[in-house]
Chain A
Amino acid sequence: MSQTFLGMPLLPVFGTGNLHASESFPKAAHRELGNAQLRANLGHATHTIRDKRLQVVSELPDWEQLRDAGSAIKESVMARLPELLEQFEKNFTARGGVIHWARDADEANEIVAGLIRETGETEAVKVKSMATQEIGLNEYLEEQGITALETDLAELIVQLDHDKPSHILVPAIHKNRSQVRDIFLREMPGADPALTDDPAKLAAAARTHLRRKFLTAKVAVSGANFALADSGTLAVVESEGNGRMCLTLPESLITVMGIEKLLPTWQDLEVFMQLLPRSSTGERMNPYTSLWTGVTEGDGPQNMHLVLLDNGRSAALADEMGRSALHCIRCSACMNVCPVYERTGGHAYGSTYPGPIGAILSPLMTGIQAEENNSLPYASSLCGACYDACPVKINIPDILVHLRGVDVDSKRGKKKIPTQMDAGMKAASWALSSGKRLGLLEKGLPLGRLAAGPDKKITKLPGIAAGWTQSRDIPAPPPQSFRTWWAKEHRGPDADGGPMPSHNKGDQP
């Protein structure tokens, strides 16, 4: 693909890379639900983080105001993104950094590989980053003969196991410690054969392994949590300090960041540094926050690059109802409280971004018609727990419903035979848009009663309704509707204070 700018790109440019589900959510969920170990690990981990988050959030009397502030700042960033990006570029460049613009995953991968190649190195250490997972950078670099080594402990575990992360904050949430020991023994060069599954011993083994790499690496690749337009500063927020190693020791630092990560000013960081740690790890403050502003001679990386990644973000921004999904600060609070994610885990969502935010972000970035991503907006009971937990108040349930509408509309007139759902919805629209018609249909309730038989329950339904009866009965319908009862039998308040006895009359067998 050409890296030369050939004119105004046509909107929308949809995202490529690891944003696509390769099978429908219900199908993937069915498989993941069968994994008892996964469900146990996930249930335990999500409930622990959930409780921790609730505790630290309840400590702040101004939590709701902080959420409002975070939401308002992000909204203003989206409203003037082009202007802020140019301001950031100017400041970053003035401090000795080099900016690269990438329209999609392929462009970003080529830019990073080219920059590493220029250093003459064939190995790079990596700071945990969602953006580089989104574009599939590690896999691309491997094809180019460059080894990218994840240094975040959980990412390292996942990488050594040739697996995929299943949670954006706790990528190895689906593995337990004995599985981790087995992976280390199998894949980590020089691992002590007597290694136990004691967490401290496992961490020490990883530490020894990583320390060797930190001291020899010449190139690091990172993402960024925030970029401050008024100073040209980048920020990484982490727990382990391994990111700090990568950001300070190597000679060259290449950062890949989504264009939506900008904040207008240093002062805005104050809001997000209160929102992010409490929402993600349930901590008051994270252990390591690294901020860097350009090149400082004789201190830290002397070659500093930033790849600004679109990859479908402009397409998401163009969706008026959906654009607030770009406010996401990748805290993972929504997945930790999600009853669906808790049971299926992250792999069921296909994309790098799982859980409720992934169910809206992935189809917004790829377009709803991309592969199986049209099944993602339906992966929710719309319980609303995610909206309550979101530190920047993204109304995920409303956006899910909006995207379901986009999905249904995108298929209108394209199918030769309407699906059962289409036909059912059309018929229900006719029946439920008139009291008279509904009343007439309700005259058929005794038929349903007949179908239910002597045990007064319906246990098997055909077609899509079979989904209901796979685990649930339907009670026998009443002999008459409320509407009929009202017309025939209701005669207003009795002298003794109410027509109570009649309220069940006729409903009982």
Chain B
Amino acid sequence: MKIALFATCIVDAMYPATAKATVAILERLGHEVVFPGGQACCGQMHVNSGYFKEAVPVIANHVAAFESDDYDVAVAPSGSCVASVKHQHPMIARSCGDRALEKRAAAVGAKTYELSELLVDVLGITDAGSQLGSWFPHRVTYHPSCHGMRLLRLGDRQQRLLNTVRGIDLIPLPEPDQCCGFGGTFSMKNADVSSAMLEDKAANITATGASLCSGGDASCLMHIGGGLSRQGSSIRTLHFAEILASTEQHPAQIAGEVQLLSGKAAQ
């Protein structure tokens, strides 16, 4: 299969390792990955902040970059950005009176998948350990981000994939469905409420005893990781794609100190 990677702007600029891991997983499965060079951003920040007029060129750019017939499906390592591509792009095009863009955006949206959705529903991955060679001997907890959970209805796809990684100790997070408080510009416009939400999320993560918190959205992970870092916590955040891409021969490198599980980590 020929798969077009939508890296998303935050991963492209801040977390390239997540996009590289996505490429590695798909190539390991024998697929060809292409990177449409015109891509930039889904425009969600503009839309969710009410700047629809400013969102239109961003959306139009995404549609132009991805409307080629040269690939079978598009994939992004983000629930939030995929939800924006699928739901917001046609809606904003319509509300700005551009019916042609609405139609083109809907066509791109129909071909776009979130990573776990593609792996489980399209590529039939049920066991990351045996099918992807995933190996990650760490104590990990997992936060399901709101847009993946509620807009894309990803269910437990990401968690199931993580659960089948060899060597992983996946510890359930208390109150997993509670928002981490990011919400894009909400984190700045309503910084106090956002911080109060983050405080509770961080406390729940800390209570698990995990040394890493995984998830499917770099933005939420940046928020959670930024809060943990400010608290002086040693707990790191890591996108689930990087855990799936990690193998015994080529283990994922994690910034900062992370304790390996005793016994299992024969490095």
Q: Give A contacts to B, CB under 8 Å.
A: 25-26, 29-30, 33, 321, 339-340, 343-344, 377-385, 387-388, 398, 401-409, 421, 425-426, 428-438, 442, 445, 456-457, 459, 464-468, 470-475, 477-478, 480-483, 485-486, 490, 492-493, 496-504, 507-509
Q: Report how far A471 CA is from B25 CA in the complex, Å.
A: 34
Q: Which of B68-76, B101-109, B146-154 interfaces with chain A?
A: B146-154
Count residues of chain B with CB under 8 A from any CB of chain A: 88
B197 within 8 A of A: yes
Residue pair B55, A429 in contact (C-beta under 8 Å): yes
Answer whether A388 and B150 are a contact pair too, CB < 8 Å, given A435-B38, A474-B222, A497-B28. Answer: yes
A-B contact count (CB 8 A): 252
Q: A482-B16, A486-B35 are in contact. Are A459 and B185 (CB under 8 A)?
A: no
- Alpha-carbon distance between A500 and B245 when the two chains are bound, in angstroms: 7
B161-179 residues with Cβ-Cβ distance < 8 A to A are 177-179
Contacts of A25 in B (CB 8 A): 190
A380:B50 contact, CB within 8 angstroms: no
Closest chain A residue to B149 by CB distance?
Answer: A384
* Chain B hits for A407, CB < 8 A: 50
**Residue from the list B37, B47, B223 in contact with A401, Cβ < 8 A:** B47
Are the CB atoms of A442 and B46 closer together than 8 Å?
no
Contacts of B191 in A (CB 8 A): 26, 467-468, 470-471
Interface centre among A385, A387, A398 (most CB of B within 10 A): A385
In chain B, what residue has the closest Cβ to A375?
A: B189
In the complex, the answer to whether A482 meets B227 with C-beta atoms within 8 Å is no
Bound Cα distance A377, B230 (Å): 29
A434 touches B190 (CB 8 A): no
A33 surroundings in chain B (CB, below 8 A): 192-193, 196
Known: A405-B50, A425-B46, A478-B14. A379 touches B21 (CB 8 A): no
B20 beta carbon closer than 8 Å to chain A: yes
Complex formed: what's the CA distance from A368 to B58 in Å? 26
**Contact (Cβ within 8 A) B24 A438:** no
Residues from chain A with Cβ under 8 Å of B195 in the complex: 470-472
Q: Which B residues touch A29, using CB under 8 A?
A: 190, 192-193
Q: For the complex, what is the distance from the CA of A434 to the CA of B43, rounded to whole Å?
A: 12
The reply to whether A442 and B197 form a contact with Cβ atoms under 8 Å apart is no
A224 to chain B, nearest CB (A): 33
* Cβ-defined contact, A378 with B28, below 8 A: no
Name the CB-closest residue of B to A425: B51
* Contact string against A for B residues 51-74, beta-carbon threshold 8 Å, 1 for contact and 0 otherwise: 111110110110001000000000
How far, in Å, is A392 (CB) from chain B's closest CB? 17
B88 to chain A, nearest CB (A): 8
Q: Are B150 and A384 in contact (CB under 8 A)?
A: yes
Given contacts A385-B150, A435-B38, A499-B27, contact A481 B226 (CB under 8 A): no
Q: Indicate which residue in B37, B48, B192 contacts A435 across the interface (CB closer than 8 Å).
A: B37
Q: Which one of A340, A477, A508 has the greatest number of beta carbons of chain B within 10 Å?
A: A340
Query: Which of B11, B20, B28 meets A504, CB within 8 Å?
Result: B20
Take A459-B230, A482-B19, A483-B7 as given contacts and tell me if A26 and B190 are in contact as well, using a CB distance cutoff of 8 Å.
Answer: yes
Q: Are A404 and B49 in contact (CB under 8 A)?
A: yes
Does A498 contact B17, Cβ atoms closer than 8 Å? no
User: Would you list the 9 A-B pairs with minimal beta carbon distance, nearest first?
Assistant: A381-B183, A404-B50, A472-B226, A467-B191, A500-B250, A467-B188, A383-B179, A503-B20, A482-B16
Contact A378-B196, Cβ < 8 Å, known A404-B50, A485-B16: no
| Complex-state Cα separation, A213 to B133, whole angstroms | 75
Cross-chain contact A468 with B188 (CB below 8 angstroms): yes
- Give bound CA distance, A384 to B192, whole Å: 20
CB-based contact A343/B183 at 8 Å: no
The reply to whether A482 and B11 form a contact with Cβ atoms under 8 Å apart is yes
Instruction: Check B129 for interface membership: any CB of A closer than 8 A.
Output: no
Q: Is B225 an interface residue (CB 8 A)?
A: yes
Contact status B27-A492, CB under 8 Å: yes
Give per-residue flags for B220-257: 1 if the beta carbon is below 8 A from chain A beta carbons, else 0.
00110111011000000000001001110110110100
Which residues of the partner chain B approach A385 to less than 8 Å between Cβ atoms?
146, 150, 177, 179
A45 vs chain B, min Cβ distance (A) = 16
Query: A459–B231 Cα gap in the complex (Å)?
Result: 12
Q: Could you say which of A430, A434, A467 contacts B38, with CB atoms under 8 Å apart?
A: A434
CB-contact partner of A500 in B47, B146, B249, under 8 A = B249
B13 at the interface (CB under 8 A from A): yes
Q: Which of B12, B55, B57, B185 contacts A481 (CB 8 A)?
A: B12
- Evaluate contact between B226 and A475: CB separation under 8 angstroms: yes
On whether the beta carbons of B230 and A472 are closer than 8 Å, the reply is: yes
Q: Is the CB of A382 within 8 A of B48?
A: yes
Cβ contact of B13, chosen from A339, A429, A442, cutoff 8 A: A442
Q: Which residue of B lies closest to A31 (CB)?
A: B192
Of B38, B40, B227, B245, chain A has the most CB atoms within 10 Å of the CB of B40
Query: Once bound together, how far apart are the Cα atoms of A499 and B22, in whole Å?
Result: 11
- B16 in contact with A429 (CB, 8 Å): no
